[in-house]
Amino acid sequence: MSKYWSDFVHQLEPYVPGEQPKMDRLVKLNTNEHPLGPSPKVIEAIRAEADERLRLYPDPDSSQLKQTIADYYGVKRSQVFVGNGSDEVLAHLFMGFFQQDKPLLFPDITYSFYKVYCGLYRIDHEAVALDESLSIRVDDYLRPNGGIIFPNPNAPTGKLLPLSEIERLLQANTDSVVVIDEAYIDFGGQSAITLVNRYPNLLVTQTLSKSRSLAGLRIGLAVGDEALIDGLNRIKDSFNSYPLDRLAIAAGTAAFADQAWFEKGCELVTSQRQWLQEQLAQRGFDSLPSAANFLFTHHPAHSGEALAKGLREQGVIVRHFGKPQRIADHLRITVGTPEQNQALIDALDTLV
């Protein structure tokens, strides 16, 4: 608290990121990072870029990276926006599209940054309850709104909504922007980017932090109709002209070029997810079907709090949200390497 703050700073409720512990040798399964490193070609690209040219500003448009993404998804470069992590892309689109008279709709159990941006930009919002199976029900969103946003698959549940349901939502909701946050889509879903040319109010965001193993670099993107991208560019150029530095532009471009590495990484995660879910089931855990790189799970006989604490004492860190009540006993466990996943199971065997 300080008398020097602008008034509204007192009212902010900032996002609390998952812990990044300083200790080594922890089994870190709490923030959905990729268990493998990025493609070696990404490291090479960063090395090749790290020279005296760093005295120069980067390309303010990140054209090379945008073109690579456009080619990858079969859209025009003018339909692609990039930012310093998809969190920054989200911040811009909240400001640009969701400051409306009617409330923004998003699930009651979802990525908690959405609510934080509503606070930052003073956006009125309504939390739409997930159904009894913790699924998003499209019919619940068919009502007056100033925008709709949810992750697909949703976080922290990992549950996927089929593309046909997203299309049904877009057909019924044409007067406000619909944002599909595809942070985890590469681990088991079909991207809604295939729909952007038919729905001018659809914006799809993705990140290189999860499936492309570059959380440390901060690269996010959005794909949509040119007019939406134009709006985002106006905000970006009123905020920070150079959100991506030279190293990030080179690395992001290289990451999309190494398809084999990307596919290998996604396959490791999905096969380990399957293994982990089976091992958990054998120990009495109930996990939601996941299309992401994490499992959302609970044990009928043990509290989420006790399990998270017991794991931590053995050097295994998972995410426990504790609220709302419906998910108070759930743990969100990132799928790790086979060794990490085994360590998690061994630690759980002392607890359940």
Ligand X SMILES: *Cc1c(COP(=O)(O)O)cnc(C)c1O
Cα–Cα nearest to 59, from 249, 253, 231, 236: 249
Indicate whether 316 belongs to the interface with ligand X (CB under 6 A). no
Contacts of residue 347, Cβ cutoff 8 Å, sequence gap at least 6: 27, 310, 311, 314, 315, 316
Give the CA angle between residues 286, 292, 296 to the nearest 5°: 25
Given a contact cutoff of 8 angstroms between Cβ atoms, the answer to whether 293 and 34 are in contact is yes
Indicate whether 261 belongs to the interface with ligand X (CB under 6 A). no
Indicate whether 209 belongs to the interface with ligand X (CB under 6 A). yes
Closest approach, Cβ 325 to ligand X, in A, equals 22
- Tell me if residue 213 falls in helix, strand or coil: coil
Indicate whether 69 belongs to the interface with ligand X (CB under 6 A). no
Indicate whether 207 belongs to the interface with ligand X (CB under 6 A). yes
Residues 86-145 close enough to bind ligand X by CB under 6 A: 86-87, 111
Indicate whether 243 belongs to the interface with ligand X (CB under 6 A). no
Closest approach, Cβ 244 to ligand X, in A, equals 12
Q: Which helix (H) or strand (E) holds 119?
A: helix 113-121
x/- site string to ligand X, residues 158 to 187, per CB under 6 A? -----------------------x-x----
Identity of the residue, 173 or 209, whose beta carbon is nearer to ligand X in the bound complex = 209
Given a contact cutoff of 8 angstroms between Cβ atoms, the answer to whether 35 and 336 are in contact is yes
Q: Which helix (H) or strand (E) holds 90?
A: helix 85-97
Identity of the residue, 110 or 277, whose beta carbon is nearer to ligand X in the bound complex = 110
Closest approach, Cβ 220 to ligand X, in A, equals 4
Q: List residues binding ligand X (CB under 6 A).
A: 85-87, 111, 151, 155, 181, 183, 207, 209, 215, 220
